[in-house]
Amino acid sequence: MAIFCPLFSGSSGNSYYIGSKTEGILVDAGRSAKQITLKLEACGISQKAVQAIFVTHEHTDHVQGLRVLAGRLGVPVYASPGTLQALDRMKILNGKFPYQVIDQQGMQCADMYIQPFHTSHDCAEGYGYCVETADGRHAAFATDLGCFSEEVQKNITGAGLVVLESNHDVGMLQNGPYPYPLKRRILSNRGHLSNAACSQAVTGLVHSGTQRIFLAHLSKENNTPDLAHATSLCALTQMGAQQGRDFFLEVAPRENQGKVTEF
């Protein structure tokens, strides 16, 4: 049985642990090293369990604690070629930890198989990740999506557990205080996935066998957990699926208070 812990999720920082209580990986390190370590401990996971950090892209809310945490743990960092180049320009790759481009065919790590796929976002070269656990379970991480592309859909369909972006409510964003260029960026095909777009995606996922869905990377200013959850739940209910029978839908917390999900 594998475990999944969304340590942090949202516009203020993102980091997820997947594996077992004794070994696993982090996807992103978007809060300080101390904060991530404390959240791991709150979930009953030693920092020594972390075998590697897989980075989706170079934006601060995904790499804020990367340099200190990877250096402290002495674990390798894996990412796309473009992301590693961006991290180097940001002086994050400081020689205190190894780093490597993850092959498109994937790689073995922490008794799991991790395979990347491209995402559409306004960064150097964004990746999502598919993870196959030692007992053959599948999870997928797909956040910071300007659109739910064919490549994303192909790679995450069929995963038992999916972390999917539900960033904003379009009405809240359009009527909110953000300047117009920022609104245009978020709404573009290289921005962030809305609640409505996410709800359309989750119906296909559940139809294809996904049992657990975590709505992730919610905007603090342009969304609420209740609204994101209700939007996807409504779409799933309309297709005839039932919460607790056909799927489990949750919002990844902005800060985990010690909850661990087994899958």
List, as one string, the DSSP characters of the chain: --EEEEEE-STT--EEEEE-SSSEEEE---S-HHHHHHHHHHTT--GGGEEEEE-S--SHHHHTTHHHHHHHHT--EEE-HHHHHHHHHTT---SSS-EEEPPTT-EEETTEEEEEEE--SSSSS-EEEEEE-TTS-EEEEE-S-SS--HHHHHHHTT-SEEEEE--B-HHHHHTSSS-HHHHHHHHSTTS--BHHHHHHHHHHHHHTT--EEEEE---SSS--HHHHHHHHHHHHHHTT--BTTTBEEEEPPSB--S--EE-
For domain 3-262, the CATH class is: alpha beta
Residues lower than pLDDT 50 in the chain: none
User: In this predicted structure, what is the pLDDT of residue 63?
Assistant: 98
pLDDT digits (tens, 9 = 90+) for 81-110: 999 999 999 999 999 999 999 999 999 999
Domain boundaries, the chain: 3-262
User: In this predicted structure, what is the pLDDT of residue 1?
Assistant: 86
